[in-house]
Amino acid sequence: MSPTPASETPRELSPGLTVRGLDAPLRLRDFKLIAFDMDSTLINIECVDEIADAAGRKTEVAAITEAAMRGEITDYKESLRQRVALLKGVTEEQVAQVYRNRLRLNPGAAELVLACKAAGLKVLLVSGGFTYFADRLRDRLALDFARSNLLEIQHGVLTGRIVPQSWGDICDGAMKRETVLRTCSLIGCSPTQAIAMGDGANDLEMMSVVGLSVAYRAKPKVREQARVAIDMGGLDRLLELFSDEA
């Protein structure tokens, strides 16, 4: 399934659930992979903003995050380096408090993951956020794969740097796309058999190569290019597209 042509008229299936160029119902079992963005998609917060709050820099960091997610900053890697630099001096315990006290799954997240796994799909979490959160969510939800950025911590304190990993330095939009394509290859499916869900501009590249792109309470630029837009309710509203016998 190709990216959504701008000429296709959106059609509201029900309040807050819009599709373009799709004939619902689909069959969930016809897909083999679902890829989730993390911040503001699978979970309720932008983790970098909440960590910055501990450093008294949330307003400054959140402004950069918002601009990056809206697609107003073209160099995602540099924008992330700038934000992470402002986290220098935050303790690992303060990061842990963000996970314990502020991070929540978005409504319907666990239900959608369970439904996809029951239908035989593999589940990928691919994020421009941080392994501290992504790896814990992978274990908590029994996800199959997770890729995100590694904050450097020395003596229990953030250094303000990101640690390169075996696959590269920063998981930006291009790396999200590559990760989805490589995961499809790994599990032996076509990208057209993949679903990608996201909310920000750095999700557009992975959304452009899959069979079903889903915008969840997304920025306008993302909503306009997705096959499916969920603007009300939880992530599990995606299941309304699929027939019961799927």
Catalytic residue ranges: 37, 39
Alpha helices in 70-203 (DSSP H): 76-85, 92-97, 109-118, 131-141, 173-187
Element at 14 (helix H, strand E): strand 11-14
CB 96 within 8 A of CB 36: no
CB 225 within 8 A of CB 207: yes
Nearest residue to 151 via CA among 137, 139, 135: 135
Contacts of 222 (CB under 8 A, 6+ apart): 198, 199, 200, 201, 203, 204, 207, 215
Q: Side chain identity at 117, as an amino acid letter?
A: K
